[in-house]
Structure 1
Amino acid sequence: MIKLDRFDGNNFAFWQDKMKFLLTVFKIYYILDPNLQPIEDHVPATDETQPNAEALERVNEDELLCRGHILNTLSDRLFDLVTGMKSAKEIWDALEFKYRAEEQGTNKYLITKYFDFKFINTKPLLKQVHELQVKIEILETF
């Protein structure tokens, strides 16, 4: 049994990577990526245009599982916000839109703070060097 920490809005990229891994292990990540096909037991269509009932049932089950796994890892607040969405892809895209934009805003702010950093003669030099090193370490994590 694999249990992920609850996602509360912090560190989206880390949560997303762990979620992708979990869904890949369960062989249902293809639900979130329209370019991927199911990993195993691909049931051929009865003709080239219509998938058979067994294949449709498998995709529906995988959709339900994928949605359930995503909802299971969300905090109560986030769960309440997205529970009305019908598909796993819709939930995934909504979370990605919200938290990727926040991360990009944070990154821009940190980069601006780094570029605006100036040494001041009235402050101790070592303290300023330490402040600069902290900013650099934070930027290196992105």
Structure 2
Amino acid sequence: MEEINAKSSIQNQIGKLDKFDETFFKRWKGKLLFFLTNMKLANVLTENKHEEKAEETFDETAKRLKWSEDDFMCKGHILNALLNILYDVYAAKFADGTTRQLWKDLDNKYKSEDAGHKKFRVSQLFEYKIVNNKSVMAQVHELQFIMNQLISEGRNIDETFQVSTIISKLPMTWKDCRNELKQTKDAITMQELIEYLQIEENSAIWVIWN
């Protein structure tokens, strides 16, 4: 009874996972694998199909049927963790396939795409330029968003690097502020930098309108 309740609880938690939408595959895969392992279904992710033998013992039959049941349940959980549009594609593609085949197909497709996304975001970060004809603070927040995405994907970006990156990208019209900030970049926190830039931008707006 306790085992049934435990499995039911895990199934409810799987249902609360964010549906995979073709982004952050590594994170989604890790969370799903954790639950499948707890449900004692993860073995079918790596095992080949247990084929029926012409003559098999009672134990062999029991193991084959148990594997088929686990494979069916595991594949269902993986498919249900996909967005509907992906569910339709993969449910049809692997209707007669095994969980191992489905898992391997997803891994081959999206692991490489994850790497491509990371390279794109790194390039996006280093090529980003803060311009004068837009709010500096709005652009700083865009930079923070890019860096937070990289951090969520496993990149080690410490606060000092984040602060230095933003300071280095301030436009030439902010030259005095940039030079002043460079003297303190190793000591200033991100929150202090944001507050400083917000005050400077508000002051510049006040000057323009007065």
CA–CA distance in structure 2, aligned partners of residues 113 and 8 of structure 1: 21
Q: Which amino acid aligns with 2:62?
A: E
1:45-64 paired onto structure 2 within 5 Å: 52-64=60-72
Change (3 A) 1:134 1:82: closer
SS of the aligned residue for 1:10 comes to coil
Structure with greater contact order relative to length (CA < 8 Å, sep ≥ 6): 1
User: Are 1:11 and 2:24 an aligned pair?
Assistant: yes
| Other-structure match for 1:71 | 79
| Other-structure match for 1:141 | 152
Q: How far apart are residue 117 of structure 1 and its match?
A: 4.5
Q: How far apart are residue 108 of structure 1 and its match?
A: 0.4
Change (3 A) 1:135 1:7: closer
Q: Is the 8 A contact 2:20 2:81 kept in 1?
A: yes
CA–CA distance in structure 1, aligned partners of residues 79 and 142 of structure 2: 39
Q: How far apart are residue 81 of structure 1 and its match?
A: 0.9
CA–CA distance in structure 2, aligned partners of residues 77 and 69 of structure 1: 16
| Other-structure match for 1:96 | 107
Aligned-residue sequence identity (percent) comes to: 30
Moved over 4 A (4+): 117-120, 126-134
Q: Is the 8 A contact 1:31 1:63 kept in 2?
A: yes
Q: Is the 8 A contact 1:31 1:88 kept in 2?
A: yes
- Greater Cα radius of gyration, structure 1 or 2: 2
Structure 2 portions without partners, runs of 5+: 1-7, 48-55, 154-210
Q: How far apart are residue 132 of structure 1 and its match?
A: 4.7
TM (normalized to structure 1)?
Answer: 0.70
CA–CA distance in structure 1, aligned partners of residues 141 and 61 of structure 2: 64
Pick from 119, 139, 146 the counterpart of residue 108 of structure 1: 119
Q: How far apart are residue 60 of structure 1 and its match?
A: 1.4
CA–CA distance in structure 1, aligned partners of residues 21 and 146 of structure 2: 25
CA–CA distance in structure 2, aligned partners of residues 15 and 4 of structure 1: 12
Q: Which amino acid aligns with 1:23?
A: L
Q: How far apart are residue 107 of structure 1 and its match?
A: 0.4
Pick from 14, 17, 22 the counterpart of residue 35 of structure 2: 22
| Other-structure match for 1:40 | none
Which whole-Å deviations, capped at 9, do the CAs of 1:76-105 have from their partners, x for residues lacking one?
211111113111111112222222222111
1:26-37 paired onto structure 2 within 5 Å: 26-34=39-47
CA–CA distance in structure 1, aligned partners of residues 26 and 142 of structure 2: 26
Q: Is the 8 A contact 1:4 1:73 kept in 2?
A: no
Change (3 A) 1:123 1:72: closer
